Amino acid sequence: MPEAPPAGTSYNLLAAACLAAAAAAVLAAMFLLVSPIRQSPAYNVFCDTRALLGIPNVLNVLSNLPFLLVGLAGLRWMREEPHRLIPELRAPYAVLFLGLAATSAGSAWYHWAPDNDRLFWDRLPIAVAFMGLYTAVLAERIDIRAAKLLLVPLVVFGAGSVVWWGVFDDLRPYAVAQFFPVFTIPVLIWLCPPRYTRGGDLLVAVGCYVAAKVLEELDLRIYAVGSLVSGHTLKHLAAGLGAWIVYRMLVKRQKLIGPATCP
């Protein structure tokens, strides 16, 4: 039988209010204290430009395949075992897996001929997928009702942050959409009792994402070691590994006894 949504408590409401206030404060601080973050023209210049079988930048293009595989595997799992997710969590995880599949297409298209116009379609599905996962984490760790209340606003914010960059050449909202979940998911895992087992897998997934950002910055340095693979290609693989860890977590985890209450 599907799990009934737990009754809300003052602790749940306080935790949700504090998180919302923190997000608003970070976004406000970005606009008040940080100058607009422009997209560097150098971002679209990658060191590994090798082609194969008519595919330009072949490793940067093909290394997006893990996102497609995980996205399709997640959607298939949700279809074949619908009882493994309570109804409130199906939409957030569907957004995650659909976003991952779309990320594979968008990022491959961007890396085929990198420029800012194509970069928009790389970042848009990434932001949407991120918001799907973050909504699920908030629902599982704070209050299951957050899945219905926050999914649409968070997806709109994630997509809107990419649109804001596309229109105003300002990455500040996109930076918040990317990094606020990365910093707060570990805090939620630490403070809020789990509803399911394997909560530590989320920490590993976040670690993979952080590693992906580091590899991205080391693109040229890594490629300079033997010219075998670039940091950007490894970034895709690390992020894809993080997505797979989330998928494996869902497949293997078990429901814990008693509702989660975030103190």
* Segments making up each domain of the chain, as ranges: 55-252
CA distance 161 to 253: 32
Q: What is the pLDDT of residues 217-239, one digit of tens each?
A: 999 999 999 899 999 999 999 99
Nearest-CA neighbor of 133 among 175, 182, 84? Answer: 182
Q: pLDDT by residue (tens digit) across 105-141?
A: 999 999 999 999 999 999 999 999 999 999 999 999 8
Give me the pLDDT at residue 2, please. 41
Q: Is 54 left (phi over 0), alpha (psi -120 to 50) or beta?
A: left
On the question of pLDDT at 261 being above 60, the answer is no
- Residue of 212, 204, 217 lying closest to 235 (CA atoms): 212
Q: For position 36, what pLDDT does the model report? A: 93
State the average pLDDT over residues 135-154: 90
Q: What is the largest CA-CA distance in the chain?
A: 60
Q: Read off the pLDDT of residues 7-45 as tens digits, 9 standing for 90 and up.
A: 444 456 566 667 777 888 888 898 899 999 999 888 999
The total of other beta-carbon atoms located within 10 Å of residue 87's CB is: 13
Is it the case that residue 248 has pLDDT exceeding 50? yes
> Does residue 26 or residue 168 have the better pLDDT?
168
Span 160-188, average pLDDT: 94
Cβ proximity of 241 and 208 under 8 Å: yes
- Look up the CATH number of domain 55-252: 1.20.1070.10
pLDDT at position 22: 81
d(CA 260, CA 83): 20
Please report how the helices 231-252 and 65-80 are oriented relative to each other, as an axis angle in degrees rounded to 10.
10
Instruction: Pick the closest to residue 246 from 55, 62, 93, 90 (CA basis).
Output: 93
Question: So what's the pLDDT on residue 12?
Answer: 66
